[in-house]
Every structure is written in C-alpha cells, then in structure tokens.
C-alpha cells in the first residue's frame, strides 16, 4: 500500500495561520491535493483537541478517521527555547502520538512546564535531551522528529540557534531520534553530504499554515506499508521490519525555500555562500550588519570534506522535486497564485484528473495541454523533470520560479 502523507501541519490556533483551518477544510483539500494521511497539527491546544475528538474516530489502529473515512495521525509541533553550551537554542520538534490517551499524558506533562492555551505551537524552556527522555517515558510509541532541520532560528542544525549534530542536541537520548525533516530550503541530496545523518530517515512535510494546495502537501513523504496503521508508519520511519518503509519523498526545489541563500530581507539583498565568504565576509553590503546565513551555507559548513555536491549514499531513498501546481500555472501566466484565472485552470484540471499529485507526476502532458494550453502543459512537464529554475529564497523570502519559455519542448 502506497500512502502519501503530510505529517506536519497546523490548526487555526497557531500563530499566523488561516482562521478557516478546521477538520473539514483539511480533509477537503487533502483529498484534492492527493494526500492519503494528514497530521492533525497542534494536539496540545485545549480547544483544538476538543474539535479533533468531536470529528475524528479512533479504531485501535492509531490512524484516526473522519466520518467519511479520511485518515489523520495525531501530531503537534513544540518549540523548545533554552541555553546549552553558552548559546541560546530555539528548536522546533514534530511529535507523533498513537492515541488520545497518550496525547493527554503529553499535555499533562507540558502543563507542568508552562501554558499550552496561547498558541498551537507552544514554547517551553526544556532541553531537547530532557524533552525526549520524558516523552519516551510516557510511551515508547511517541515519535520525535526535528522539524525543518536547517532553518536558521528554529532548526536543529540552524546557523543561529542550532547544533552541529543530532547527538549534540539530544545527547544520550539521540538513540530515540530516528529521522529529521528536510524543510523547504534543503532536499535529501543536500543532507546526503553529511555522513553522520546516514543512519537517520529523511522525511519531508509541508509545515502548512493554511489548507490551500500551494501550501498543504507542497512537501510530502510516501510510505510503502503492508497496512495503514500508526505502527506501520513508525516502523517505516524507524527502519524496522521489511514490510514498511519510506518509498520516496516529494520536495520543492530547495531554492524555493525561505532560507536557502544568505542575505538580508530588509535590504533586498541575497548572495550565494561562496560570495558570502569570499566577497562580503558575512557582512551585508547595504546595512553593514551580519547577514542571515542560509541553509546552503550551513550545509557546506557541516558537510564531509569527501562528500561534494551531488554525492549519493548507497542506500539513499529517492526523491522527486516539484513545485505546487498553482505556482506553475501562476508563473506561466504571470499572475498571483490566488488569481481567478489560475483557479479556473486549476479547477478544470482537478475536475478531469481528480488529484493535484496525479497531474504533477503522472498525467499525460498532451491531455493536460488539451484541457489548458500547450504553454501550461510545457511548464508542468518542466516541473516534473526538475528543470524549472528558481531564484533562491533568503532571510524569510520565498524563492521565485523562473521559466525559460523559449527552451520549452514542442508537444505537437
């Protein structure tokens, strides 16, 4: 059984999220996107957990279902802010849990450390090591996944508040960490350059703050499992057993992420790691202050010297790199992703082919052209082949897709 999953999302109770994020909208748009299994997001929030209990049914498998049978897994994100080794740390962690009883125990523990009612992603002064030890004592079935691992401020390897390894962050509890999330500004190929990450599974999820299809499922992990249960998903992440595994991940181009290059958003300036080091010495030429060091630079810093760009480990799990369909249509037409014309074309394609992932990855290009136009079909083909260039994002700004239309193939 192949299961397309997005296990890092948020509810309407997290900061900077859509107020229309509810179970109904999550299910509706997950189906349109082509997602089979969705995280619940924010299970520690007292109001959201009540909505989850009202709308989701437990059946003993650890996979919760809506009344129409759509699949959810209990998931939340926690922010840990503390000091270690004389440096301030801000680390975001994804938490997966098998049932409401375990969630209640996690929440009870967190209440002893601070408030949980002000944000769907609450903040606690707990170290990664102590947090992991406590959660594993609650249940060995809880899964802890470092979120968007390379983000400068909140990633476990971030240039500003992160560590140089999972072991440095979790110490003796690193044995209970089995994976990490790439984040939009990195992809598996970048992470393959670090040999100390070889033993960990690489997962990709969207960290979406709205249900729109250019946010939800923009990154995803495809599991191959014997049957869909919480146990089978955890076994796949932990590389336990032959029947359950990660088949591949879906990534956006890492240049599309908000922190791929170095730079300063307020100065409208960005540059490559090489320019940062050799030309600017890490200082923004506009404001003369230190630049925000992006993911590409940080990967270069931590990578093994004998693993250059393009290195592939022997047992590497493959990945597919595509941008969301709205982004492709909008870039092709020179419009915004939410414009009426983009929605019209998107809806026509979905009405015919049912799921966005099917259109992005599998649908015959000539059929797409017949329903839209040759230009859009060509853009989708270039996207599928990973040939769309992206002006790299930096310091909180998304990257910008660039189409070289004169190089497109002739379909007819």
Furthest C-alpha separation in the chain? 66
Nearest to 186, CA basis, from 219, 154, 213 = 219
Distance from C-alpha of 239 to C-alpha of 241, rounded to nearest angstrom: 7
Q: 39 pLDDT exceeds 60? A: yes
pLDDT digit string, tens, across residues 154-175: 999 999 999 999 999 999 999 9
Q: What is the pTM of this model?
A: 0.96
Q: What is residue 404's predicted lDDT score, i.e. its pLDDT?
A: 66
Q: What is residue 121's predicted lDDT score, i.e. its pLDDT?
A: 98
Q: What is residue 180's predicted lDDT score, i.e. its pLDDT?
A: 98
Asked whether 378 and 387 are in contact (CB, 8 A), the reply is no
Residues with Cβ within 8 Å of residue 296, at least 6 apart in sequence: 185, 190, 254, 260, 261, 262, 272, 273, 392
Tokens read off for 183: 């984040």
Tokens read off for 160: 């500003």
Would you give the DSSP letter of residue 229? -
Q: How many CA atoms lie within 13 A of 192 on its CB side?
A: 15
User: Chain-wide mean pLDDT for the chain?
Assistant: 96
Q: 380 pLDDT exceeds 80? A: yes
Distance from C-alpha of 287 to C-alpha of 251, rounded to nearest angstrom: 34
Q: What is residue 405's predicted lDDT score, i.e. its pLDDT?
A: 55
Q: What is residue 82's predicted lDDT score, i.e. its pLDDT?
A: 98
Distance from C-alpha of 165 to C-alpha of 92, rounded to nearest angstrom: 15
Asked whether 26 and 37 are in contact (CB, 8 A), the reply is no
pLDDT interval class at 410 (50, 70, 90): low
Q: What is residue 403's predicted lDDT score, i.e. its pLDDT?
A: 81
Asked whether 369 and 379 are in contact (CB, 8 A), the reply is no
| 24 phi/psi in degrees, rounded to 5 | -60, -45
Q: What is residue 409's predicted lDDT score, i.e. its pLDDT?
A: 58
CA torsion, ordered 160, 164, 167, 168, to nearest 10 deg: -60
Would you give the DSSP letter of residue 287? T
Three-state DSSP class for residue 126: coil
DSSP H helical segments within 262-323, as ranges?
273-275, 295-302
pLDDT digit string, tens, across residues 111-129: 999 999 999 999 999 999 9
Distance from C-alpha of 24 to C-alpha of 383, rounded to nearest angstrom: 30
Residues with Cβ within 8 Å of residue 159, at least 6 apart in sequence: 152, 292, 293, 294, 297, 298
Q: What is the DSSP string of 318-363?
A: PEEE---HHHHHHHHHT--TT-HHHHHHHHHHHHHH--HHHHHHTS
Q: For the chain, what is the total number of helices (H) and then of strands (E)? A: 14, 16
Q: What is residue 412's predicted lDDT score, i.e. its pLDDT?
A: 52
Q: What is residue 242's predicted lDDT score, i.e. its pLDDT?
A: 87
More confident residue, 337 or 412: 337
Q: 408 pLDDT exceeds 60? A: no
Q: 178 pLDDT exceeds 90? A: yes
Nearest to 290, CA basis, from 277, 302, 308 = 277
Asked whether 47 and 13 are in contact (CB, 8 A), the reply is yes
pLDDT digit string, tens, across residues 260-274: 999 999 999 999 999
pLDDT digit string, tens, across residues 221-247: 999 999 999 999 999 999 998 899 999
């Amino acid at each position: 059984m192949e299961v397309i999953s997005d296990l890092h999302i948020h509810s309407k109770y997290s900061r900077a999220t859509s107020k229309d994020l509810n179970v109904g909208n999550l299910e509706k748009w997950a189906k349109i996107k082509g997602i089979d299994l969705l995280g619940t997001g924010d299970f520690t929030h007292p109001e959201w957990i009540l909505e989850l209990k009202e709308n989701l049914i437990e059946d003993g498998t650890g996979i919760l279902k809506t009344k129409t049978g759509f699949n959810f897994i209990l998931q939340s994100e926690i922010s840990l802010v503390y000091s270690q080794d004389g440096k301030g740390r801000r680390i975001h962690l994804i938490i997966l849990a098998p049932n409401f009883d375990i969630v209640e125990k996690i929440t009870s523990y967190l209440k002893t450390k601070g408030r949980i009612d002000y944000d769907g992603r609450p903040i606690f002064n707990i170290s990664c090591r102590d947090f992991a030890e406590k959660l594993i004592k609650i249940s060995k079935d809880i899964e802890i996944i470092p979120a968007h691992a390379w983000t400068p401020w909140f990633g476990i390897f971030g240039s500003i508040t992160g560590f140089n390894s999972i072991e440095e962050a979790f110490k003796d509890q690193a044995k209970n960490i089995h994976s990490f999330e790439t984040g939009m500004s990195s992809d598996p190929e970048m992470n393959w350059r670090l040999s100390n990450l070889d033993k960990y599974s690489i997962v990709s999820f969207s960290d979406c703050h709205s249900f729109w299809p250019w946010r939800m499922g923009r990154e995803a992990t495809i599991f191959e499992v014997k049957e869909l249960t919480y146990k089978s998903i955890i076994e796949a992440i932990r590389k336990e057993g032959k029947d359950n595994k990660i088949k591949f991940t879906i990534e956006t181009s890492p240049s599309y992420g908000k922190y791929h290059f170095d730079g300063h958003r307020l100065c409208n300036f960005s540059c490559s790691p090489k320019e940062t080091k050799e030309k600017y010495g890490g200082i923004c030429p506009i404001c003369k202050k230190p630049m925000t060091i992006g993911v590409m630079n940080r990967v270069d810093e931590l990578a093994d010297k004998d693993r250059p760009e393009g290195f592939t480990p022997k047992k590497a799990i493959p990945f597919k790199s595509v941008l969301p369909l709205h982004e492709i249509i909008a870039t092709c037409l020179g419009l915004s992703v939410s414009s009426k014309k983009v929605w019209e074309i998107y809806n026509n394609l979905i009405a015919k082919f049912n799921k966005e992932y099917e259109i992005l990855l599998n649908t015959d290009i000539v059929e797409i052209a017949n329903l839209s136009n040759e230009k859009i079909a060509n853009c989708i083909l270039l996207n599928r082949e990973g040939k769309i260039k992206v002006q790299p994002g930096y310091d909180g700004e998304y990257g910008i897709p660039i189409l070289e239309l004169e190089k497109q193939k002739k379909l007819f």
